[in-house]
Amino acid sequence: MSILPQEIIRRKRDGGTLEAGQIQAFIEGMTSGRVTEGQAASFAMAIFFRGLSVPERVALTRAMMQSGDVLTWDLPGPVLDKHSTGGVGDTISLALAPAVAACGGYVPMISGRGLGHTGGTLDKLDSIPGYVSQPDIDTFRRVTREIGCAIIGQTADLAPADKRLYAIRDVTATVESVDLITASILSKKLAAGLQGLVMDVKCGSGAFMDNPADARALAESLVLVANRAGLPTSALLTDMNEPLASAAGNAVEVAYIADYLTGRRREPRFHEVNVALCAEMLVLGRIVATLAEARSRIEEAITSGKAAEIFSRMVVALGGPADLLERPEKHLVTAPVVREIHAERPGIVQRAATRDIGIAVVALGGGRTRPQDPVDHAVGLTNLAEIGATVDSERPLAIVHAQTPEAADAAARAVRAAYTIGDSAAHPGKLVLEHIGATA
């Protein structure tokens, strides 16, 4: 059995099946530095075109999990997490983790940076002044134990091979590979020592998987591989044919969550998906027996302010300001150019090219085109119009937050092009499309 990196790449390139030992050797090489950037990129591209069998997916996931520390927990409640495959305006994690913690779950959430046109939870956290988004493992453990949740970025100690491959995928057009997505997500979750995981697999114009068949295939892959690797997992397919929230960016999404948790503004679309995912987690963790009871518990946690309290305590425990939720404008960076974007004619929003809206945020500086690129936390879009909304001289398509007038102009052109305006009534589609059970 050859374990030379180039021979492993060659075997997969030619359509062969890799043995677990070969996959383990390649991942160990990525961790040690013996495997070069070019070899890692070639490996990703070979997998993208040739695919992996289920045993290969499990082997890759386990190898990446074992490339660093694997956490264990001794807590009085279930250790649970949620992961989204990414979208635009998808800042659910910041609302979900404290809500589940308020109901007795423990949520040690390890998040990632933005990939392609989608925002990353870690980039949003980094917009909070003082918040240490990549603490040491002992701090991560302590905050999870004491507060009930800790949302951090991937540390050097947890699945380091994935951290390297994650960045390479973003710039080599291999992000959409079901095999690589599966191993990337699950290696981090397995390393976190979870006892239950709920996947939010996005489907639609702003998702990496834009049609239901592909999204279902990804969900089934994640559920199957996770359960075979020993992690009870279920998945929800949710709609991403328009931004999930009316804000897309980094600081602007943190401000959105401040409004959501405090009750200043709770948009039904965002709230429905959040409650559905939280409820699924409570049932998977056996905190409650039924989804109806779980939904009731989550609604109470949010409306009572308990979830907001836990979020604030988490922020303080990780170095952020105590009054972030009450006074986000005091702490979050803002862009110098804030301008309404109006449609070229009045009418009703029929469709949204959601990916293009995400790309507009990246072009403003709110995302990356290279792994080493800095992110501008201040820029983004707010007040994004929903499908079915009437837009005119009073109601804009969005508000752009930019560093320069020229950047605002470019974003305005992109946003106008992303929306289809008509005269007939239009209604958003179903939000939760399908459930993939843990026994799949």
Instruction: Sketch out the chain's domains with CATH numbers.
Output: 5-51 (1.20.970.10), 80-328 (3.40.1030.10), 334-422 (3.90.1170.30)
Query: Stretch 279-302: mean pLDDT, rounded?
Result: 97
d(CA 169, CA 173) in angstroms, rounded, equals: 6
d(CA 240, CA 355) in angstroms, rounded, equals: 9
Residues belonging to the active site: 81-84, 121, 169, 184, 188-189
> What are the tens digits of pLDDT across the range 46-88?
999 999 999 999 999 999 999 988 999 999 999 999 999 889 9
Nearest to 439 by CA among 228, 276, 294: 228
Q: What is the pLDDT of residue 371?
A: 62
Nearest to 114 by CA among 87, 150, 95, 133: 87
Q: What is the pLDDT of residue 368?
A: 73
Mean pLDDT of the chain: 93
Query: Stretch 364-386: mean pLDDT, rounded?
Result: 88
Task: Using DSSP bridges, classify how beta strands 380-382 and 419-422 pair: parallel, antiparallel or unpaired.
Answer: unpaired
Residue 440 in this model has a pLDDT that exceeds 70: no
Query: Sign (positive/negative) of CA torsion 352, 358, 360, 366?
Result: positive
Task: Using DSSP bridges, classify how beta strands 419-422 and 196-203 pair: parallel, antiparallel or unpaired.
Answer: unpaired
- pLDDT band per the 50, 70, 90 thresholds, residue 119: low
Q: What is the pLDDT of residue 110?
A: 86
Q: CB–CB of 222/185 below 8 Å?
A: yes
The DSSP string of 96-127 is: HHHHHHHTT-BEEEEE---BTTB--HHHHHTT
Query: Stretch 194-205: mean pLDDT, rounded?
Result: 95
> What are the tens digits of pLDDT across the range 318-352?
999 999 999 999 999 999 999 999 999 999 999 99
The DSSP letter of residue 64 is H
pTM for the model stands at: 0.89
Nearest to 71 by CA among 143, 156, 198, 157: 157
Classified as helix, coil or strand, 269 is helix
> What are the tens digits of pLDDT across the range 87-102?
999 999 999 999 999 9
Residue 388 in this model has a pLDDT that exceeds 50: yes
Residue 133 amino acid letter: S
> What are the tens digits of pLDDT across the range 133-162?
999 989 999 999 999 999 998 777 788 898
Angle at 303 between CA 300 and CA 307, to 5 degrees: 80
